A and B are shown apart, each in its own frame.
Chain A
Amino acid sequence: MSTVTNTEIILNGIPASPGIAVGPAYVYSKHVPKVQQREIAPHDVQSEIERLRAAVARSEKELRKILAFTEEKIGRTSALIFEAQIMILNDAVLMQEIERRIRDELRNAEFIVFDEFGKYSRRMLGSADAYIQERAHDVDDVMHRIIRNIQDQKLFSKLEGESIIVSEYLTPADTVIFSRNQILGYATDLGGLTSHAALLSRSLNIPAVLGIRTATKFITTGDRLAIDGYAGAVIVHPTDETLDRLMQKAKRLKEFDKKLEGIAGLPAETLDHRRIELSANLEFETELDFALRQGSQGIGLYRTEGLLMGRTTFPSEEEQAAEYMRIAEVMFPHPVMFRTFDIGGDKFSPEPLNEENPFLGWRGIRVSLDKPEMFLDQLRAILRASARKNVRVFFPMVSKVSEVRRAKEFVERAKADLTARGVPFDPKIPVGVMIEVPAAAVIAEEIAREVDFLSIGTNDLIQYMLAVDRGNNLVAPLYQEFNPAVIRTIKSIIDAGHKHGKWVGMCGEMAGNPVATMLLVGLGLDEFSVAPNILPEIKKIIRSIKYKDAKKLAERVLSLSTEYEIKNYLASVLKATLPDIPLADLETSTAP
């Protein structure tokens, strides 16, 4: 057993807030307080109501503290979340109703609180409006706070000294409260719902890796952890060697970050003037500000499934159009690439699915083509955002040409609908395909003929090509971005696009790996879409190299036959070009 627990394990997630930290884990189980229904005697009603009132008062006191802290440390806008929660606590109508029910029904306070709040939050969650759904989480937070206070449970009694918080998810309040303790970092299973937490952790300057999926499964309180918010990795039981490397990396990164200041306004252009389109991957509208501050000159992947979080029905055309239009407007004149819903697989699914192997199942374009109404709603919404001609649309999980043709027919139908309604849109909206299924890579030429651009989705492409599930620790080291088969496939996709005069981009994680940048430029990649936090670094590399040299480097790489050779070669050239660059990929990877 001891040998198993002491083995170094690397868990990968979304790099949500940069920084490196090492410390003990505190696993914060976000389990909703258990609420049991109890009958109370008539003579206990008064004391039950006193308990409730005391709990509400304590809850308000807690929230006021969080509010004051947030206002001071983060700003007014973030503080509004907590003001809304205080208003709910002060809702006299709601509280009177709860007290009335305790009296009339002779049941315990926490049960009535749970039941009464639940009525509202369920209704809000079912709303078609994303804003109202967010408010449902606020209502739940307030409810949990009151119940916890009625039960007189201390929240963080076990939290002593510095620690890295590991949780299934964090609410904004959790993020803020923890930050008042000695918090070194955050690691969570879920990344989507907690985008507020991501923004807050960045404002608070606390490293965070979200969306790890298995963090709470692999980590127990007290485990020694290293968190790398740059690479999006959490290392459990790190070896001395790993720690050493991370500490050096932290030091170098701080120095490097200083050098990146001021680069945001400059173009991503090589020394010999090859212009690269460098844009950001986004899932939530709230991330836009950060992406722009990082110097993003477009959104190369907008994951529209962010809109589906926590809901049971698909958003209407109206609702989607409102969000897409806002994003296109903020980014104008820079392009925004909307990827149609990539649901199924491990992501949101509209219906309960019992797929034995969801990654090989009903997802992406397959779902969209099977649900014409949903697909048309989304396409019309995207088209409506395209009136100023800075919007592109592309499809995930395509594996054959007929899917592309059918999807294009839907685009034409959506256009006809809008024309009939007299709604403006870009009749020449660029349409593309995400190349992430090996079959699509093989027939990339045929696909390129059908569309305006290709975007390589490396995460799925590599996982399908190499038959490796990255989330499976038994085989995770076999997931290799620099496997020669992967590199040659990327080359052939880029060549296929160019042969038909179509540009080729990349929106997988590989596009944001500094070790890969020179190679990808050399292979002729036209567009890189990366996580916003890594964007300045990638731009710095592009601005430090010559396209001419990158092409030579790519040729050399194509002649190498192992991932180990390729990676070492690329890292050594990068080191020689930019001696102080932090090499995240090499440092967190295991032996060849």
Chain B
Amino acid sequence: MTEVTVTIRNRQGMHTRPAAELVKTAARFRSDFTICKDGMEINGKSIIGVMMLAAEQGSQLTLRFNGEDEEEAKKAVVELFERGFGEPS
């Protein structure tokens, strides 16, 4: 299991488009992917779950990966957050 904390950089936060991109990226890997925010835990491969998180700009999320390709999954997902999903910050 590997864990990392990220910050939402894009101004509009985790709205539908970034949520879809996140879920699509996570789905490419076999590892389980969990997102935690303010004590709420959701499956990072579920768009409805990610939408429910309502993560706005500046909020911190803990990402947890568990499985054979967890390192690769983490790398791909963290990269999305680092470039703010390609949206203005």
Which of B49, B52, B54, B56 is within 8 Å of A93, CB to CB? B49
Bound CA–CA A206/B52 (angstroms): 34
A409 to B56, CA, bound (A): 33
Q: How far is the CA of A90 from the CA of B19 in the complex (A)?
A: 13
Task: Report chain A residues within 8 Å CB of B20.
Answer: 87
Q: Would you call A120 and B16 a contact (CB within 8 A)?
A: no
Nearest CB on A from B30, distance (A): 13
Interface 9-residue window, one of A126-134, A196-204, A563-571, A579-587: A126-134
Known: A87-B16, A87-B20, A135-B16. A127 touches B54 (CB 8 A): yes
B46 CB within 8 Å of chain A: yes
Residue of A nearest to B51 (CB): A135
Within 8 A of B (CB), among A502-543: none
B77 within 8 A of A: no
> A80-B16, A93-B43, A135-B16 are contacts. A88–B54 as well, Cβ < 8 Å?
no
The number of chain B residues with a CB under 8 A from chain A is 15
Interfacial chain B residues near A84, Cβ < 8 Å: 16
Q: Which B residue sits closest to A84, measured CB to CB?
A: B16
- Which residues from B are CB-within-8-Å of A128? 54
A117 CB contacts on chain B under 8 angstroms:
48
Chain B residues near A127: list those with CB within 8 A: 54
Give A85-134 interface residues, CB cut-off 8 Å to B: 87-88, 90-94, 117, 120, 123-124, 127-129, 131-132
Contact of A123 among B23, B45, B52, B56 (CB under 8 A): B52
CB-defined contacts of B56 to chain A, threshold 8 Å: 129
Q: In the complex, A19→B43 CA distance in Å? A: 48
Cβ–Cβ contact B15 & A120, under 8 A: no
B15-A88 in contact (CB<8A): no
The answer, yes or no, to whether A16 is at the interface (CB within 8 Å) is no
Is there a chain A Cβ closer than 8 Å to B36's Cβ?
no
Of A83, A92, A128, most B-chain CB atoms within 10 Å:
A92
Contact B48 A91 (CB under 8 A): yes
Q: Mark B50-79, 1 if CB is under 8 A from A, else 0.
A: 011010100000000000000000000000
Using a CB–CB cutoff of 8 Å, the interface residues on chain A facing chain B are: 80, 83-84, 87-88, 90-94, 117, 120, 123-124, 127-129, 131-132, 135, 139
**Interface pairs (7), CB distance under 8 Å:** A87-B23, A88-B47, A88-B48, A94-B49, A124-B52, A127-B54, A135-B16
Using CB atoms and an 8 Å cutoff, list the residues of chain B in contact with chain A. 15-16, 20, 23, 27, 43, 45-49, 51-52, 54, 56
